[in-house]
Structure 1
Amino acid sequence: MKKIALLVLIHITACYFAQRKSTKTGRATLAELNMKSYEKDSTARALVLYEHANLYMETKKYDFQTDFYFRKKIFTKEGTDVATVKVITYGKERIKDILAVTYNLRENGSVEKTYLQKKDIFKNQLNEKYTETSFTLPNVKEGSVIEYVYSLISPYPSLDDLYFQSDIPKLQSDYDSAIIGNYKYNARIIGNPRLTKDNPSVLKKCIYIEGIGQAACAVRSFSMTDIPAFKEEDYMLSKKNYISRVAFDYVSYTDLRGGVRHYLNDWAAADKSLKNDFLKNQSNKKNFFKKRLPESVLQISNPLEKAKAIYSYIQENYTWNGKKRSSKNNKMRAVFEEKSGSVYDINLVLYNSLQAAEIESYIAMVSTRNNGLPTKLYPIIADFNYLIV
């Protein structure tokens, strides 16, 4: 998940579209409670009866808000695992308005409702960037129907992928969004099965901007029905290559004066952005490394033998800290002195050392097998998760 922070200097006083919660709780039916299995997949341990996500811009801090609704049926003891919900947020993102209820059918035919208590909602700081919010619905057993809702508030205009498929089948999955036209996105449809609804439109007078007037929103409505469970096969590449989803690529932002800031560029611009912004200008430390590499290594005349010696020196003197990427504040000088770092850090040490020794070398960003294939349509830096030299 890669987010881009952006300050939006507008005052929005009203948003007339999409500022409503997704489907309210209390929709479980007797027919759903009496279900014993799913006829289209009798092996399913659980079933998503309905899910809905609704994205819009809230008017207090002008953040992006997505309201989520889920209703699921539990068929087996193994299926009770879907009653544990984990939501990972990045940076300043936050979760609010969590509500969850479990429905069970009593022997006399009446419906028992058990609500999630606030004390049973937990937050865990995974690292400096990510937080996990988790809860487990109470009184869940074979035959239960569970419902839960929550809202995700994000100051970041970069949108996460929308996954229609999961490891259990779904009857219906809907997504609606209304985003002010200043933000431009490309939507890529990936995998099978395909969407049953994809309705892009423009809603005029969607948002009122003080001093400017009414503004329009780009509206997208996606839907998919009768979605089979995604089943991984032996030797397949990352499931991200095949699982049905919509990927949103943040293209540009246009301010109120007409200035455009592009986030999706051509490959040459992406290469420049990668070096300057993503790698924090830590790939141009030639002089620093030339003064600190062993003289015995730098004096080797054969380029191949010199490259091998540099590689061996780094391999023997540096320790991987278990991370792929470095923190945003990591500097090559600190990595060199501490002799420890992430994959990015150590490979940047290798690159700078080779440059210091006047050996032709290049940085390459790749996507690992588990990370999935990057799109070839245009450069998405977040598609790449590994740095090599």
Structure 2
Amino acid sequence: MNKLLLGVLISVVMIQFSIAQDYRFGKVSKEELMENKHPLENDANAAILYRRMRTSFNYSQDNGFVARTEVHERIKIYNRDGYNWGTISIPYSNSGRLKESVEGLKAFTYNLEGKKVEKEKLKNKDIFDKEINKYREEKTFTMPALKEGSVIEVSYILNTPFIGKMGKYTLQENIPIKKVDFQFNSLEWHSYKPYIYGWTKYDIAQERVPRTLKYTYTSTNRAGTSGRLPSSVTNRSNEAIELSENVYRLDVDNVASLGSEPLAPNISAYRFGIEFELAQVNLPNSPIKRYSKNWESVAESIYFSSDFGSQLEKSRFFEKDIDNLISNISNPLEKTIRIFEYVKNRMNWNGVYGAYAENGVSKAYDDQSGNVADINLMLVSMLKYANIDSAPILLSTKSNGVPLFPTLSGFDFVIAAANIGGNTILLDGTDKMGVPNQLRPELINWYGRLVQEDGTSETIGLDPEKAIHQVIINASINPEIDVVAQVKSRYSGHWANKFRYQLTNRTLEDQNKALSDHHSIDNLKNLEFSELSDIYKPLGINYDVILEDDIEDMESKLYVTPGLFLTMDHNFLKADTRLLPIDFEFPQEENYIIKIKIPDGYKVNSLPESISLNTAEGIGSYKYQVSENFGNLQIAITRTINKFLVSSSYYGDLKSFYDIIIEKEAEKIVLSKVQD
């Protein structure tokens, strides 16, 4: 058949199928149930066939303005690895008097049994309400009768009184979405600004349409009769107002999955989605209220919350303990470290993020447990009590992303800062192995905002110091043609922290295995550590190893891999192009000095040439030297990454940089037998 004709026929069939699609709830087709793989992403374990989100606003005298979001999803399960999409969570806020609510929840699982479509309803007893933290809850459930090929359908309504912080509408997932149907209808009195997140960009259609807003209000009239006390009569009235709505609409087909890439930051920050900022409210017969903020006003608002700034004023519960702790210390830095270590050792982070204290610092201190704000606001309060100039710093973690506009939800973590001798020292009391100025990589995102007692604030850089991995190897070649090596390695900064997390409180057998797996080596012996438990010093790891794969005996010649087991043998940047930035987590340097004794009866036949490389903009550098000196082979390798977060615009240059390194380190030292 003519290829052009075939292409036209396929297109016609796809168009007809698209037209025939019925997205009304309950109208799951046999074709959807029979589909065994996604037509565009064949390896997808599941797909969202339809995601519909419609937000509109209503008014009641009791609750004021409430946003009502109708959600309808249809999900296809292709195989068992997609079963996790059958467990669904619906988060909602519970903040004191104002609460969100989930209503009208209904869900079904559809399966094809023979030629008949069977459906099974989710039962109310299988829906659970779970408390996430003080402010958040979620409804969670697992769909019944899940099988390979099942289609799930879920529908519910989320009502929220928090019209000033509507949250983000996520329109991209780790699985493909066949159709997105999104609409946001705001009343003419409310001016919202739309912000689009993610790498995938779509245009939002916008129009103005008429709306009749119906609402109910109550009024009380006092009526009296002669000789009696006045009585009250309550009247309920239904009213309607004619106004207009601003409608924002997105209708998108085939949103690709957002898959993970090597050295990628948290991909949730790069998903396609929309968020709406309430800029101003202009109600009839009322002055205009402007809500757009800057980061200074956001920080000020957080600081003067009772769950933030007020917590810093509480000290009675710890004063005696801190007095005893620092009674013989006058040096400000020593005081800071002593208090920092005390908080780390006493307190246990419950895993909950947030800019606000969850339990309050006093209760958290008694319980020895709390969220990040409980612990680090407590740390700030203790430092202030010890006359250390200290303040909290608000952060946005990588999971939270980089907000596109100033918002209270832009911060989800708090750390402490101490100003000593004009230097700002960053402290996180939730990290058991943390040291000053060495934040966990998850926290190194964007910048921080340091907030003073009067609510004023300033930006604070979070860039970490360079971590260094140094290795010295003395090696020889035994009669069995193996490389016998004595390895001395030293780790500083984040490198040391990573290995301490892996190796502390482990058996010697587990430590051996962890290092063997990390370096892909066998026969590791005589393992020794120095400063494993002293987090303020570089970590030393020494061991002996016999290497069989880094030398080859062929036709009276020995072919030696110069870098031994430290050789970079594969490029983790494989794709031709990339959208996500490259996240190395922290600046780093690998510095290897290797000395190999040339065995008796052999001489150098050839050595790889030395090279030196530098990437664009000083992102990275590489030095490689191989030489012979007094019967020894000497190899020096230095790989450096100076900028830990690299724009994807440099991806091609960086990929080529690593290709050259891999090609160079694959070259062999050739030793030949000395002729008698």
Instruction: Report the TM-score, using the length of structure 1 for normalisation.
Output: 0.79
Equivalent residue number for residue 19 of structure 1: none
Q: How many residues align?
A: 363
Mapped pair 1:112 → 2:140: no
* CA drift at 1:30: 3.5
Equivalent residue number for residue 100 of structure 2: 93
Equivalent residue number for residue 64 of structure 1: 67
Distance 1:160 1:258 in 2: 27
Q: Verify the 8 A CA contact 1:289 1:353 in the aligned structure 2.
A: no
* CA drift at 1:79: 2.9
Q: Verify the 8 A CA contact 2:307 2:356 in the aligned structure 1.
A: no
* CA drift at 1:244: 1.3
> Which of 350, 361, 379 is matched with 1:350 structurally?
379
Mapped pair 1:245 → 2:281: no
Pairing 1:240-389 to 2, within 5 Å after superposition: 240-277=268-305, 279-282=307-310, 284-285=312-313, 292=320, 293-294=322-323, 297=326, 300-325=329-354, 330-335=359-364, 340-372=369-401, 374-375=402-403, 377-389=404-416
Distance 2:240 2:119 in 1: 49
Equivalent residue number for residue 123 of structure 1: 128
Distance 2:363 2:414 in 1: 19
Counterpart residue type for residue 176 of structure 2: P
Q: Verify the 8 A CA contact 2:191 2:278 in the aligned structure 1.
A: yes
Distance 1:100 1:271 in 2: 41
Q: Verify the 8 A CA contact 2:78 2:149 in the aligned structure 1.
A: yes
Deviation per residue, 1:17-37 (Å, 9 max, x gap):
xxxxx9532332343333232
> Which of 261, 264, 267 is matched with 1:236 structurally?
264
Distance 2:183 2:154 in 1: 18
Structure 2 unpaired stretches of 5+: 1-21, 216-237, 417-676
Q: Verify the 8 A CA contact 2:206 2:249 in the aligned structure 1.
A: yes
Q: Which moved more, 1:288-297 or 1:36-45?
A: 288-297
Distance 1:290 1:80 in 2: 49
Equivalent residue number for residue 193 of structure 1: 200
* CA drift at 1:341: 3.5
Equivalent residue number for residue 188 of structure 2: 181
* CA drift at 1:239: 1.2
Equivalent residue number for residue 154 of structure 2: 148
1:289/1:253 CA distance change after superposition, 3 Å: farther
Q: Which moved more, 1:158-167 or 1:203-212?
A: 203-212
DSSP-derived class of the 1:31 partner? helix
* CA drift at 1:269: 1.7
Q: Verify the 8 A CA contact 2:178 2:255 in the aligned structure 1.
A: yes
Q: Verify the 8 A CA contact 2:33 2:150 in the aligned structure 1.
A: yes
Q: Verify the 8 A CA contact 2:394 2:414 in the aligned structure 1.
A: yes
Deviation per residue, 1:248-277 (Å, 9 max, x gap):
334344444434445441222222212102
* CA drift at 1:383: 2.1
Counterpart residue type for residue 326 of structure 2: V
Distance 2:386 2:176 in 1: 57
Q: Which moved more, 1:25-34 or 1:87-96?
A: 25-34
DSSP-derived class of the 2:262 partner? coil
Q: Verify the 8 A CA contact 1:23 1:52 in the aligned structure 2.
A: no
Instruction: Report the TM-score, using the length of structure 2 for normalisation.
Output: 0.48
Extract structure 1 runs of 4+ deviating beyond 6 A.
209-212
Counterpart residue type for residue 41 of structure 2: D
* CA drift at 1:52: 0.9
Distance 2:70 2:56 in 1: 9
Structure 1 unpaired stretches of 5+: 1-21
Deviation per residue, 1:101-120 (Å, 9 max, x gap):
3443343x3x3231304345
> Which of 73, 81, 94 is matched with 2:76 structurally?
73
Equivalent residue number for residue 47 of structure 1: 47
Distance 1:344 1:194 in 2: 35
Distance 2:315 2:90 in 1: 45
DSSP-derived class of the 2:105 partner? strand
Distance 1:193 1:218 in 2: 24
Distance 1:367 1:326 in 2: 9
Counterpart residue type for residue 57 of structure 1: F
Q: Verify the 8 A CA contact 2:109 2:119 in the aligned structure 1.
A: yes
DSSP-derived class of the 1:282 partner? helix
> Percent of aligned positions with the same letter in both sequences?
23
* CA drift at 1:144: 3.3
Equivalent residue number for residue 8 of structure 1: none
Counterpart residue type for residue 273 of structure 2: R
DSSP-derived class of the 2:376 partner? helix
Q: Verify the 8 A CA contact 1:298 1:357 in the aligned structure 2.
A: no
Counterpart residue type for residue 140 of structure 2: S
Distance 2:365 2:149 in 1: 59
Mapped pair 1:163 → 2:170: yes
Counterpart residue type for residue 112 of structure 1: V
* CA drift at 1:221: 0.7
Distance 1:148 1:339 in 2: 41
* CA drift at 1:152: 1.8
Aligned-pair Cα RMSD in Å: 3.3
Q: Verify the 8 A CA contact 2:87 2:141 in the aligned structure 1.
A: yes
User: Whose relative contact order is higher, 1 or 2, with alpha carbons under 8 Å and at least 6 apart?
Assistant: 1
DSSP-derived class of the 1:97 partner? strand
